Structure 1
Amino acid sequence: MTARLDAVLGNARVPASLVADAQRFGGRRDRDCFAGNLVVRGGSVAGMSQDGPVDTDLGGRLVTTPFVEPHCHLDKCFTIERLDFAGGSLLDAITAQSADKANWTYGDLRGRAERGIREMVAAGTRMVRTHVDWEVDMRDPDRLPLAWRVIGDLAEEWRGRITIQRAALLPIASMADAGYSQAVGRVIAQSGGALGAFVFDQPERAAGIHNMFSVAARHGLALDFHVDEGLSPELDGLELIAREAARTAHAEPVLCGHACNLAVIEQDVRKQRIELTARAGLSVVALPSSNLYLQDRDRTIPRERGLTAVSELLAAGVNVAFGTDNVQDAFCPVGIHDPKRTLAMGVLAAHLPPPLGDRLPLVMQNAAKALGQPLAPVDRSPADALLIWETGDVAELVSGGTYARCRSLHDAMPSH
């Protein structure tokens, strides 16, 4: 039996932030949602009606677009129990995780990465970008990391259930070598990935960023940076990237993760840097779990949150999203691959006020835009691209509680 292409699904709730044309959508405004009968025509959502016969009663359940995970590390996840690591700084975590790579066989990587993928799919995630550590070999830039190949295999196997993007995570110093950067950019383009790098205080960072934009333009690559993952006011990677993006008018998406020190630098400098980020068209992904755990470790009691300036970036028109980042590894010893829980943590850490429904794009449309894959709103989506949840409350959904379980809206459609 196949679901009908036309149906009226009664007693539905749709978060208003996930609707493109509120004036024409119909329905009754109920706090941060539209409530009413969801009308499906030709297999796609046409809007809401207030009365008339219905084919199926949804019982007040929420209907949403799927979640998007813009930044995680499937090569590192679920390693904390085997690490000789008791917590520490970002550099401590890098050292501990690097030592664990001796355990990274095909089977080990596949098992841990697929566990993370299963968590995401169960949580209603249908698109993800995972970073993959790139082992630099200046003599052999064509060599693909084992994790890159493993996750590529999984991307094919999970096709149709979740879209998996890979972003190469390179040290920015290696990209300052023009020959190496061109060679590795070609390899990444051929294997269908994004070009990324860790930008901190390296002396070669400006040259490396310049080369990355050049390589990305040549091969049509999206760029993805771990940038300014610290609280020193001297860190300036975000500004360097924004200036290069503005200068080159790079055609592909440019995403910057972390940008921790943006929240603690002097106000005038912060305002200028945020305005530059907005003009350059960068996306910024805030990563509350790892940043709350690793930043401000120099004091007995942490006082600085380590989270980027989320509210000011949003107010300036920057595309901002939240990412889960590390899960149960040296960078964050706890967690689960679930954008709902990431959003809940971000709401707390960034002091984002209700209504919570207004925050859903941070882990849906905004996150998809950061990955260069626009996510249609509810009123422009086919029914089989939408999710129906066991709860009717956005707070319950975002909190990831007992009733925050989902299925395809297509499954709720009446059958012939």
Structure 2
Amino acid sequence: MTSTTPYRGYVYAYPHKTAYRPLAGHPAGRPLLSELWASEPKDALSLYLHIPFCEVRCGFCNLFTRIGAPDELTTRYLDALDRQAAAVRDALGDAEPVRFAAAAFGGGTPTFLTAGELERLCDIAEKRMGADLRSVPLSVETSPSTATADRLAVLAERGTTRVSIGVQSFVDAEARAAVRPQHRAEVEAALGRIRDARVPVLNIDLIYGIDGQTEESWRFSLDAALAWRPEELYLYPLYVRPLTGLGRHRTDADAPDTAWDEQRLRLYRAGRDHLLAHGYEQVSMRMFRLKDAPQAGPDDYACQTDGMIGLGCGARSYTSSLHYSFDYAVEMREIRGIIDDFTATEDFSRAEVGRYVTGDEARRRHLLQSLLQAEGLERAGYRERFGTDPHADFPAELDRFAARGWLDGSAAPGRLRLSPEGLAHSDALGPELFSPAVRAAMSAYEAK
């Protein structure tokens, strides 16, 4: 499969949730969690808690989240999260020690919750699941309007090592163009509060490719972010996806746009070079880390082995053979219905929606997630896990990437690594590694 655009899709997980299907239709039916996890390693699990609420929904956002939480919905949601955690912990059993090596709260906006509700969220992670939040990396997402001193104080006291804030642009007009109503003064005040909370790692998200954005305004946002010397910076290309605020105003959201592609590539390269010149190292296409900054959690695409426990209706869980979650939607009415169903659920003992990931799919996932890291893939590790070599398993794809100049010819013989141009084209390269079966499932998915 060839790509006509460098921006086909952000591959943050494989397979994508649009390839998941209700497991009730699988020959094995909905599996019991206790059976799924019975033979899985449990000594270094990742824990993710999903909070699907935001004060506003940005125009580019297709995440599983709703605006607001009327009628004590957050209380009912946390009640359901507590029930789910109890069921999952019971399914993990006590035959061997269960240990969590990393934790994250995402969304949505976890800090949409009040300080007291965040205390309860931490209690669910610790008292129900057994995660020691003060001794493992804990990453939490926030927004300028919800990064209040009392919420941040709770997070800092409970062991948060990384706070990630979605700023997107320090230019008010660009924020409005991305349908993100905020003012720079509000953003700066929130950043000040995060620094005052003394969380070890601050990450700032920025977006390039916004309507009206120029190289000069992009540099302005980069420099405004650099003034806070964040330990991490993520640079995201803007996407206009179906059913999002921006997507509703474009009937050709998936149509090629050469001029926009060129603009995004130009801004990406300018941003990359600017950060590299200011003491940052590139971890992936999107992620940049200040040299010598503490690492407060797994890198992008770094989950090479399975073992993810996801709690909440927008969270995924990974075993070595099955990735599973709940239903997925983008349109607000559908999301509300899924959240309502989640809060009414009493029995969380079975996996509901998912996709089995074995054999060829496991190899693809490992190659894809490794290759999209700047450090690349260690071929010996791949051979140790699968008993084969990536060049033998994926000769056509790797030959094609090499012909395009996407592979680094100067890498050591035992390492498969992208060139700078390959990293720039990560969002084209990643989808080309999708299997025909996953691609077909994604194409057949009806967006809702």
TM-score per shorter chain, which class?
Answer: 0.3 to 0.5
**Normalised TM-score (structure 2):** 0.40
**Normalised TM-score (structure 1):** 0.42
